[in-house]
Amino acid sequence: MASEIPILDLGDYLAGKPGAAEKAAKELQFACENVGFFYVQGHGVSQDLIDRTFDASTRFHALPIDQKLALKANEHNIGYMGYGTSVSRASQVYDGERKPNLVSALFLKRELAPDHPDIVANKRFRGANQWPGGLPGFRETTVAYMAALEALGKSLMPLYARALDLHPDFFADAFAEPQFTLRLSHYPPSEPEDNQFGLGPHTDSSFLTLLAQNNVDGLQIRRAEGSWISAPAVPGSFVVNSGDLLRRWSNHRFLSTPHRAVASATDVDRYAIPFFFDANADYVMECLPTCQGPGKPPRYEPTTYTEYMLWFAQQNYPHFRDEAD
């Protein structure tokens, strides 16, 4: 039930009201240490822009399959991933062989100029977006949406720092030019087999994920004791969850809670537009100073987004498996 997932109103914090940052950070700390999910309201992202992005996703997935396959996802994890080709493996909840996810998706990242040094050097996960033709406004809408959610993600960083007992500016360098991915997902009407889902039980790879509300429910999260609850839509909010990189960085202080998307009902198309937000591509994430100490050594070696995401993608996405092999 939604009542089990905390709701944070960011309005006073974003308006700079005295004491609002401290209050919001305490609420975020509770959510990340005990649930792993929360809703944010008063976030400042235009509902019109959210609606236009859902519409852009719907229009993309309505294209003929050959047009979508022409944008096949590449070594940067940018492009189209066909229906039923992904399997949720790289996760703390992976418990053996899984059936294919009943979803297709288009992955977009930061829009970089053709002459950007990372494009010229073909730097991993910093490639050029693959844009569909024949969809007026699609590129402009999705780029604007990514910019709005990047700004929202950055605005949350001082709260995460406070919640982790760090200086509010602690994450400023790490997120100076954050990595992010917008995944435009389509769950068409399906009849799943046993133990098959729209998106199987998994944890996200990201520092955090921002998920705009959909008018077709499907997200479920797992309680600590193992039962599953739905995360119903709270109008005007985003669902936020911490991912494996934050769990790793915080030495397991903050949760990365397992979740899944149930297969869409046989007469309903479901669309989702999750936004995965991470540190700069080459920023070295090592155990946070407030999350280690006597009797609590770091659990992991330092890593970067690029290193971690290469491993994650090789486990989960078909266009990376040959490389993994």
User: CA-to-CA distance for 237 and 152, rounded, in angstroms?
Assistant: 12
At residue 1 the predicted structure's pLDDT band, cuts being 50, 70 and 90, is: very low
Q: Please say whether the dihedral angle defined by the alpha carbons of residues 244, 245, 246 and 249, taken in this order, is positive or negative.
A: positive
> Could you read off the pLDDT of 269-322 as tens digits, one per residue?
999 999 999 999 999 999 999 999 999 999 999 999 999 988 887 776 666 666
Model confidence at 53: pLDDT above 50:
yes
Mean pLDDT of 76-90: 80
Q: Indicate the number of domains in the chain.
A: 1
Model confidence at 14: pLDDT above 70:
yes
Helices 138-163, 20-34: axis angle to 10 degrees equals 90
Q: 83 is in which domain, residue-wise?
A: 2-324
Model confidence at 140: pLDDT above 80:
yes
Among 72, 78, 254, 71, which Cα is nearest to 159's? Answer: 254
User: CA-to-CA distance for 198 and 200, rounded, in angstroms?
Assistant: 6
**Average pLDDT of the chain to the nearest whole number:** 91
Mean pLDDT of 19-30: 98
User: CA-to-CA distance for 199 and 12, rounded, in angstroms?
Assistant: 35
In the chain, % of residues over pLDDT 90:
72
CATH number, domain containing residue 176: 2.60.120.330
Strands laid side by side in the 259-261 sheet: 199-202, 259-261, 219-222, 228-230
Mean pLDDT of 259-268: 83
At residue 264 the predicted structure's pLDDT band, cuts being 50, 70 and 90, is: confident
pLDDT at 199 (0 to 100): 79
Model confidence at 191: pLDDT above 90:
no
pLDDT at 261 (0 to 100): 85
Mean pLDDT of 188-207: 82
Question: Which of 3-17, 222-236, 275-289 has the least mean pLDDT?
Answer: 222-236
Model confidence at 236: pLDDT above 50:
yes
Tokens of 70: 């022409």
